Amino acid sequence: MAKLGVNIDHVATLRQARLGTEPDPVWAAVEAELGGADLITVHLREDRRHIQDRDVELLRQTVQVPLNLEMAALKEIVAIALRIKPAMATLVPEKRTEVTTEGGLDVAANTPALSAAVGKLSAVGIMCSAFIDADLRQVHAAKQAGFGICELHTGPYALAAAGAQRDKELERVRAAGEEILNSGMQLNAGHGLNYTNVQAIARLPHLSELHIGHAIVSRGIFIGLREAVARMKIAISSMG
């Protein structure tokens, strides 16, 4: 069964709505771990719209499972990652105007810069994952840039209308996943997944990790984060 990485950015989004101290993402990480999270994920954005530097520092000290830092390959953020040393860095594109990470990283168009960032992060023992669209050209570029892991963007699958359109998106994810594995990289997936659409993705052969945030934090408001994580683990294991 694929591991579950729980993205707790939206707990920080709620805190930042009042620029106060609660709810604290550090508490959220504890609850997520108690619910069975296999990894904790946070995205330290350049604009610091949700997760703050202090959160990453404290999470690195307190989280018991591997910490996955989502980040853009920016000089300032790479320097923070090199200092804090999360277990894993997932490199994502970042646009100031986006509501959430919109598309995958264009590794093919930025191979030298990404390769340099991967080299620095890998040198201190951080595993590097590329968040990419289900596109074979991007898979090959990720391999060339030195990534050991690719996280396939499941947003288009999640947004597709049920039926032929969704089947087509699922097939794209499956084919790209096969290429990732054939290239010797680890296969992860995430974005837009929820309790009812996760099963088809969880069935992908040799999938290592699923990274899920919004659906879990949303359900956590009503049933508690610990329970919301536990139920997502059940959804993943049931695989429809």
User: Which amino acids are annotated catalytic?
Assistant: 43, 70, 191
- Contact status: 132 vs ligand PXP (CB under 6 A): no
Neighbours of 226 (CB within 10 A): 18
Contacting residue, 214, 224, 231, 239, with ligand PXP by CB under 6 A: 214
Q: How far is the CB of 39 from ligand PXP (least distance, A)?
A: 11
- Contact status: 231 vs ligand PXP (CB under 6 A): no
Structure tokens at 219: 């359900």
Contacting residue, 51, 101, 145, 233, with ligand PXP by CB under 6 A: 101
60 phi/psi in degrees, rounded to 5: -60, -35
Tell me the sheet residues that pair with 129: 90, 149
Rank residues 128 and 212 by Cβ distance to ligand PXP and give the closer one: 212
- Contact status: 218 vs ligand PXP (CB under 6 A): no
Element (H, E) at 3: strand 3-7
Rank residues 33 and 151 by Cβ distance to ligand PXP and give the closer one: 151
Q: Spell out, one character per residue from 27 to 56, where the chain touches ligand PXP: x when CB under 6 A holds, - when not.
A: ----------------x-------------
What is the sign, positive or negative, of the torsion defined by CA atoms of 156, 153, 170, 111?
positive
Distance CA 192, CA 46 (A): 22
Helices 164-182, 136-145: axis angle to 10 degrees equals 30
Query: Footprint of ligand PXP on this chain (CB under 6 A)?
Result: 7, 9, 43, 70, 90, 92, 100-101, 131, 151, 190-193, 211-215
